[in-house]
């Protein structure tokens, strides 16, 4: 069926609801380069202004999914994936995939790269020498059958409409639209063939959603799409008012995960431990193992996850993933050439003000990209010594900056200093997991 693009733009501009056929027309012609960027950009802006109904959002998601290949993993039984909306130091996927796979639940994981001030799972994995995230769908399915999990990037075969649309959204100021976010996330999850999904929707100064209410709106919209398409979805609303874990940066975060899977609770130095990384990982793993049918309930799933983490099963599975995807862990991880430590200038209580500033500091050091073509310094990043509201004395270490190139150091230090303060009184502590939606 043919439509006039200008009429579809006008329809959405004035709050009309698109049919699935209209959405199919827009996406099909955009992927085929028959619809110019300026018309699609106008339509995206109209969606940002007017939104979409739940039915419309679901139809949009399915058309994005169906723009490429869709995997059928039914022969593997119940497969469970996890998606995080991103946060500073968020590294749980690196432990979750092997941990849940070690419990016997297949985990198809199609991950992303760093976006803005937050790091990406693919970038972290590529800090491991030789690790290949560019796996085609046939090999991906083979790895799921033999290893039980694989972590790969979005292939050109999967959701080409999303890939092209996302690039346009990035340069037209149309990223932060709820239906567009939902369509982008869920189209890829539905295309990868998962049976169930656990969402980690973050909120706070280090997340894209700043308030718990915004995070819950996004979580419920994502869950609605999953349920409409026969998938079980659970969402965790988690706080991102302080970095997760001890380290921020690609190889640094991989090392933290290796330490945790080796049974360590910290890196042996004083300061912030790995406790929050471990707690969130176990909570998510418990839910995934339960949804995958390997535990009677989440309490049983938690017990099993703790056992598999403690006895080395998760680490052995991670090593198996690395070997299967070309990673050479025995060569060691990249290390930055320089380190500088920031210390407290007075007694008081440590307070995080703006985690985006800390993320920007990591980017200036080389751990993230200022522009898409930037090459990452895999060893760069930050070591975090303080929890929110932790008592500190003058001269105590606050952060250690890891870097090789000095040209970004001054900018990193300036951004870092805007991200925290030493207060006279502690803040009220809040739980890491604010709410679970089922």
DSSP, collapsed to helix, strand or coil, labels residue 357 as helix
CA 373 vs CA 99, 101, 129, 368, 369: distances in Å: 33, 34, 20, 11, 8
> Can you say how many angstroms the Cα of residue 47 is from the centroid of all Cα atoms in its chain?
24
Please tell me the number of Cα atoms within 13 Å of 109 on its side-chain side.
33
Catalytic choice (11, 24, 82, 83): 83
Q: For 161, how many CA atoms within 13 A lie in the half-sphere containing its CB?
A: 29
CA distance 30 to 24: 10
Active site residue 169: yes
Assigned token pair, 378: 């895999």
DSSP-assigned states of every residue in 1-21: ----HHHHHHHHHTT----HH
Q: Is 83 a catalytic residue?
A: yes
> Which of 81, 90, 123, 162 does the annotation list as catalytic?
162
DSSP letter assigned to residue 69:
-
The reply to whether 58 belongs to the active site is: no
Determine whether 246 is an active site residue: no
Output the six-digit token pair for 195: 């049976």
Q: What value does the CA radius of gyration of the chain take, rounded to a whole number of Å?
A: 22
Mention every residue, 6+ apart, whose C-beta is less than 8 A from residue 346.
394, 422
Q: Which one is catalytic: 184, 195, 205, 313?
A: 184
Tally of CA atoms within 13 A in the half-sphere of 65 that contains its CB? 25
For residues 402 and 335, give the distance between their C-alpha atoms in angstroms, rounded to a whole number.
8
Q: Which of 188, 189, 302, 317 is catalytic?
A: 188
**Residue 20 bears catalytic tag:** no
**CA 74, 75, 77, 82 torsion: positive or negative?**
negative
Active-site residue, selected from the candidate residues 11, 82, 113, 169: 169
- Just list the catalytic residues: 83, 162, 169, 184, 188
């Amino acid at each position: 069926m043919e439509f006039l693009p200008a009429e579809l733009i006008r329809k959405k501009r004035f709050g009309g609801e698109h049919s699935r056929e209209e959405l199919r027309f827009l996406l099909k012609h955009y992927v085929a380069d028959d619809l110019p960027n300026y018309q699609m950009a106008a339509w995206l802006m109209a969606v940002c202004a007017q939104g979409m109904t739940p039915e419309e959002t679901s139809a949009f998601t399915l058309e994005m999914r169906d723009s490429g290949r869709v995997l059928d993993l039914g022969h593997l039984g119940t497969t469970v994936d996890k998606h995080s909306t991103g946060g500073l130091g968020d590294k749980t996927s690196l432990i979750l995939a092997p941990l849940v796979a070690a419990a016997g639940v297949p985990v198809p994981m199609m991950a992303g790269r760093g976006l803005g001030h937050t790091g990406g799972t693919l970038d972290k994995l590529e800090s491991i020498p030789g690790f290949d995230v560019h796996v085609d769908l046939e090999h991906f399915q083979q790895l799921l059958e033999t290893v039980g999990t694989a972590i790969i990037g979005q292939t050109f075969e999967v959701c080409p409409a999303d890939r092209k649309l996302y690039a346009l959204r990035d340069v037209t100021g149309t990223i932060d639209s709820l239906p567009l976010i939902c369509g982008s996330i869920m189209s890829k999850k539905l295309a990868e063939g998962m049976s169930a999904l656990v969402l980690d929707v973050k909120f706070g100064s280090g997340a894209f959603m700043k308030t718990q209410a915004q995070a819950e709106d996004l979580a419920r919209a994502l869950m609605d799409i999953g349920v409409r398409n026969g998938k079980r979805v659970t969402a965790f609303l988690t706080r991102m008012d302080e970095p997760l874990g001890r380290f921020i940066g690609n190889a640094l975060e991989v090392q933290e995960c290796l330490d945790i899977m080796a049974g360590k609770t910290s890196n042996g130095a004083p300061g912030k431990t790995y406790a929050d990384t471990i707690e969130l990982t176990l909570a998510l793993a418990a839910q995934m193992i339960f949804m995958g049918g390997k535990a009677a309930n989440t309490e049983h799933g938690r017990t099993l996850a703790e056992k598999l983490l403690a006895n080395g099963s998760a680490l052995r599975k991670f090593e198996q993933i690395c070997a299967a995807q070309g990673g050479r862990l025995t060569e060691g991880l990249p290390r930055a050439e320089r380190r500088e430590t920031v210390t407290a200038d007075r007694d008081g209580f440590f307070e995080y003000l703006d985690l985006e500033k800390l993320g920007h500091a990591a980017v200036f050091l080389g751990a993230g990209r200022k522009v898409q073509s930037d090459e990452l310094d895999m060893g760069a990043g930050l070591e975090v010594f303080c929890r929110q509201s932790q008592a500190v004395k003058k001269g105590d270490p606050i952060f250690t900056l890891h870097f090789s190139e000095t040209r970004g150091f001054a900018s990193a230090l300036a951004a870092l200093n805007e991200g925290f303060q030493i207060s006279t009184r502690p803040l009220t502590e809040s739980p890491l997991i604010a709410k679970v939606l089922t």
